[in-house]
Amino acid sequence: MREWEEGRKDREESRKRLLESLAMSIGNIGRGWKIYRRSLLAVLGLVMVLSVSLVAIFADEIAVQHPYRNLTDTEDKWSNNPDQQESPPFSEECSLRAQKITTNPNSPLFSETVVAESGNKVRESIALGYYTDVLSVTEIIKIESISPPGYDQDMSLITVDPNNSSIFVLSPELYGNSSYYAGVWITYLYENDEMSHWWMPEGYDTCIFGTNKEGHDVFSKVVYGARVSLTIGITVATLTVTIGTIVGSISGYYGGRVDEVIMRICDVFFAIPGLILAMAFVAAMRSVSSLTLPVWLGVLLPVLMLAYFLNAHLSTTILSGDNKVSDQAMGMLMKNRSLLVSVLAFLFFVGWLPAIAWSDFFGVSHSRGWRLTSSLVVIALLAAIILADRKFVQKNSMDGALERLSSSFDWTNPWRYLNFRTVVVFLSMAILFKLSGNEGSEIILIKDFDKLWQVQFALIFTGWPGYARLIRGQVLYVKEMAFVEAAKSVGAPPSRIMFRHILPNAWAPLLVAFTLDIGGTILSASGLSFLGLGAAPYTAEWGLMISESRVAFQRAPHMMLYPGLAIAITVLGFNLLGDGIRDVVDPKNRR
């Protein structure tokens, strides 16, 4: 074990290298920016994307809290408020309220002065009860009797207290007159100090885009919609890129039969028009309420991933021989693969495998017995396969494995491990940790697998083949280059060649496709929502808002105008950004 002081030289060396590469990438970005800014449209696109992102990040600050908006509404779930009618942009009606006033002196609720207050608003949680805002009245519009309804009454019956603009004073003839015994409706204009907004001009606190049929502020919904749409776009694009890259590079690198199978699967996906495919996937995922993994998969997948990435490292440290762990296991599997395939085929055709419900197959089962048995069986099977290979045990001695392992890890030099791969691993772990939960014997990957998640997964399923094909082409092209040959000849493992040598040389079209795909995803997701297959009702999703506006779009076009404009601007921004990046990464433009 080395001392901390001993590693100082290495530390400094690694740090220097890290800083150098950082400086280099900053230089690259600077050069790219110089090419990028040549195109006005590209700069415009960047501005659009940045402004939409800023709106999404600061949605809580920007969105106006609408008077009718219930406080339990969150950024993407808005309640139904059937009483309120839509009002056009900038209309006074948004600061208009009708309040019921009891005029029967015998009623326990009766008082000669009445406070002007907003409707009940729910506190942060319903258990904390309700509260109301006190409003300051600017003008009384009309006074109506409740029974018989709809008759305008004399405006002098109720006056506003001159000292306090939020108190109504009832005149004696109102409560002395038995014809008003049921009370009156008073309609008035008001200002609500609770809702004054820091960036809004005086008097336009609400309704710059009008309200919709439920009385939700369209502006606030559009603002929160940026959050929803960007989340969908970025999540889907990231995951499709990841899956597509992995599949495509495997397909391109190994070629042959693997390539053939993967490409035929991609052909199937290409054969069905994207939107219809996504619709079918959404339908298929209707009953999934949370994305869970059985324990065996939850444990096995990370272990396998780590084993794959650290394959070379582990095989030189844990094992003294030069046989790699995966080679052994794979060799065993490969040798008996015809047997395995025939067993599987037998099970399938006898009808035993289909007896397992599909939901169990995808790990969404709720039966405890199935989970336990399947976990045990799978882990035992894998262990048996590895251990049964006697050659593996004979050839390799495990003596001193721990020592070798610890000596291979240089704990005195943390800089050495600060690279792109670790950053990505930690980032994805943090995101997964945030989304996931734990319930009994199942690992829950995504706790709240709501309709938005269903849309996202549908779009991921439909999106990956495009990337796979793109990356495959790139890999096929780069694979033939001399440096790959050189890496192969010095014995670099396939994973290293793929991630270290091929992918860094194939990322340029990927970056462009990624940027364009964010826009495309936002479009498809809003299309699905528009058809009623996407976001749940009342969500602040732009496509859904347009869909909800359809009933009255001739009478109230503002309900569909602004969300549509928001989609168009966001998607246009990403498309222009993608075009700009294409110019930057185009080798013709590098000077």
Partner 1 sequence: MKLHEFVVRRLLLLIPVMIGVAVFTFAVAQIIPGDPAALQCGDKCGLIVGYTEEGEPITAHQANRERLKLDDPVSIQFERYITDLVNGDWGESQKNGRPVLDIIKTSAPVTLEMAFFSLMIAYPLGIFLGIISAVRQDRMFDHVSRFFAIAFVSLPIFWFAMLLQLYFATGPEVGGICDPIFGTEGGCFPIFDRHDQSYTYPIEGYHWFYPEAGTGFHLVDSWFVTDAKLAELPSEFDTNRELFMDTLTHLVLPCSALGIASSGSLLRYMRASLLEVLHEDYVRTARAKGLSEFRVVVVHACRNAMVPIVTILGFSIGGAIGGAVLTESVFGIHGMGTVAVLGILQLEYQIVMGVTLLTSVIFLLSNLIVDIAYAIVDPRVRLE
Q: In the set 46, 232, 282, 291, which binds partner 1 (CB under 8 A)?
A: 282
- Is residue 333 within 8 A of residue 382, CB to CB? The reply is no
* Residue 564 touches partner 1, criterion: CB under 8 A: yes
Compare residues 282 and 452 and give the one whose CB is closer to partner 1. 282
Q: In the set 182, 200, 265, 312, which binds partner 1 (CB under 8 A)?
A: 265
Compare residues 135 and 516 and give the one whose CB is closer to partner 1. 516
* Residue 47 touches partner 1, criterion: CB under 8 A: no
Residue-wise burial string across 485-516, b where 16 or more C-beta atoms lie within 10 A, e elsewhere: eebeeeebbebebbeebbbeebebebebbbbb
Q: In the set 325, 459, 544, 571, which binds partner 1 (CB under 8 A)?
A: 571
Tell me the closest approach of the beta carbon of residue 49 to partner 1, in angstroms. 12
Structure tokens belonging to residue 96: 């208009």
Compare residues 170 and 277 and give the one whose CB is closer to partner 1. 277
Structure tokens belonging to residue 35: 């090419």
Site for partner 1 in 513-532 (CB under 8 A): 519, 523, 526-527, 530-532
- Identify the DSSP state of 152: B
Give the helix/strand (H/E) hosting 99.
strand 96-101
Tell me the closest approach of the beta carbon of residue 264 to partner 1, in angstroms. 5
- Is residue 152 within 8 A of residue 98, CB to CB? The reply is no
- Is residue 210 within 8 A of residue 87, CB to CB? The reply is yes
Reported in sequence order, the residue ranges of 321-456 that DSSP labels E, i.e. its strands, are 437-439, 442-446
Q: How many residues bind partner 1 (CB under 8 A)?
A: 53
Tell me the closest approach of the beta carbon of residue 213 to partner 1, in angstroms. 16
Query: How many residues in the chain?
Result: 591
* Residue 13 touches partner 1, criterion: CB under 8 A: no
Tell me the closest approach of the beta carbon of residue 484 to partner 1, in angstroms. 25
Tell me the closest approach of the beta carbon of residue 473 to partner 1, in angstroms. 15
Q: In the set 348, 409, 411, 483, which binds partner 1 (CB under 8 A)?
A: 348
Which stretch, 7-15, 157-165, 427-435, 548-556, contacts partner 1 (CB under 8 A)? 548-556
| 3-state class (DSSP) for residue 199 | coil
Which stretch, 212-220, 272-280, 433-441, 500-508, contacts partner 1 (CB under 8 A)? 272-280
Burial of 276 (0-12, 13-18, 19+ CB in 10 A): exposed
Tell me the closest approach of the beta carbon of residue 288 to partner 1, in angstroms. 9
Pick from 542, 574, 575, 576: nearest CA to 561? 542
* Residue 550 touches partner 1, criterion: CB under 8 A: yes
Tell me the closest approach of the beta carbon of residue 272 to partner 1, in angstroms. 5
Pick from 496, 504, 502: nearest CA to 311? 496
Instruction: Compute the radius of gyration of the chain from its Cα atoms.
Output: 32
Residues 214, 216, 219, 220: is their CA dihedral positive or negative? negative
Which stretch, 177-185, 379-387, 479-487, 573-581, contacts partner 1 (CB under 8 A)? 573-581
Task: Collect all residues with Cβ–Cβ distance below 8 Å to 397 and sequence separation of at least 6.
Answer: 319, 320, 321
Query: What is d(CA 266, CA 470) in angstroms, rounded to the nearest whole number?
Result: 11
* Residue 281 touches partner 1, criterion: CB under 8 A: yes
* Residue 89 touches partner 1, criterion: CB under 8 A: no
- Is residue 187 within 8 A of residue 175, CB to CB? The reply is no
What residues line the site for partner 1 (CB under 8 A)? 41, 264-265, 267-268, 271-277, 279-287, 348-349, 351, 354-355, 358, 519, 523, 526-527, 530-533, 542-543, 546, 550, 553-555, 557, 560, 563-564, 567-568, 571-572, 575-576, 579
